[in-house]
């Protein structure tokens, strides 16, 4: 579910750990921008449409480096980030 797009789509990867356990990980989402988003910022949604997309490469980094909390990647704490 992506609240700002409709219709929406998602790309997931099936990852396997060394023990053979499977985990689905969301890697990205996309969709047509909801007209209400344009209206909220003063853009004429009758005239303009948009396509939104994004990929979550940080989720691959979490798997590679065994990071359990995604927020750590965005806090800009050099004590944490300098480990990589």
- What are the tens digits of pLDDT across the range 25-77? 888 899 999 999 999 999 999 999 999 998 888 888 888 898 999 999 999 99
What's the sign of the alpha-carbon dihedral 15, 16, 21, 22? positive
Mean pLDDT value of segment 1-7 = 86
Q: pLDDT band for position 8 (50/70/90)?
A: very high
- The pair of structure tokens assigned to 25 is 């990980």
- Look at the block and give the residue holding tokens 């998602």: 10
Residue 84: its pLDDT value, please? Answer: 85
Q: What is d(CA 58, CA 69) in angstroms, rounded to the nearest whole number? A: 11
Residue 16: its pLDDT value, please? Answer: 86
Q: What is d(CA 48, CA 26) in angstroms, rounded to the nearest whole number? A: 29
């Amino acid at each position: 579910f992506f609240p700002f797009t409709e219709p929406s789509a998602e790309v997931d990867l099936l990852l396997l750990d060394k023990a053979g356990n499977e985990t689905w990980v969301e890697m990205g989402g996309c969709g047509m921008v909801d007209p209400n988003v344009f209206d909220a910022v003063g853009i004429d949604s009758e005239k303009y449409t948009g396509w939104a997309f994004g990929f979550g490469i940080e989720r691959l980094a979490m798997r590679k480096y065994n990071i359990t909390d995604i927020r750590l990647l965005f806090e800009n704490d050099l004590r944490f980030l300098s480990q990589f």
